Amino acid sequence: MPTDRVVGVLAVQGDVREHLAALAECDVVARPVRRPDEIAEIDALVVPGGESTTIDKLTRAFDLREPILDRLKSGMPAYGSCAGMILLADRVVDAISGQQTFGGIDMTVRRNAFGRRVESFEQDLAFDGVPGLPVRAVFIRAPWVEQVGDLVEVLATVADGPAAGRIVAVRQGNLLATSFHPEITGDTRVHRLFVEMVRSAG
């Protein structure tokens, strides 16, 4: 039975359907968010993978930016994957001119750090807070985290290869972010971790 928790997925661009499907398996009500008034009706927000600059422009064009900022400042839980990680970062390296983020996580993120789409890859990651087997992470034109503040908890880093040691999953308070796309693997454990955060936030 779904709980009364309502988790919105920002539905202006990106992997919206995949996140909705993953959340639906986690016993919450999952719904797309496209209008400013819908921000007030959710308990938490997922910012999906896609193109961070496009999502930024569209949230401003659709008057979603300010309602989202207000809710984040008041403690609403949020989870960002890939482009969503960039949008939850306080600082972005290689941002385009005029690009804005929602912020909230005291970290510096580098856009497209892992290279172009043809350089996409998968890797198994040890992920703090996710029980069981390693998490299969899919990186597609993904960012990585170059620096975190004292209040940021590092949950996962790349194990080996050219990017060994790079931070790819973090949490600060009610905010969670990953460089990769758990919504496309069929493994809902990262989403379940987020849902636990939402329930704990009351």
Residues near 190 by beta carbon (within 8 Å), at least 6 away in sequence: 127, 130, 135, 178, 182
Residue tagged active-site, from 38, 82, 153, 191: 82
Measured CA to CA, the distance from residue 182 to residue 57 in angstroms comes to 25
Cα-Cα-Cα-Cα dihedral sign, residues 196, 198, 201, 202 = negative
Report the distance separating Cα 20 and Cα 32, nearest Å. 7
Among residues 18, 19, 26, 181, the one annotated as catalytic is: 181
Among the listed residues 146, 183, 191, 196, the single catalytic one is 183
Is residue 46 within 8 Å of residue 12, measured between CB atoms? no
66 noted as active-site residue = no
Known catalytic membership, residue 191? no
* 183: annotated active-site residue: yes
Residues carrying an active site annotation:
82, 181, 183
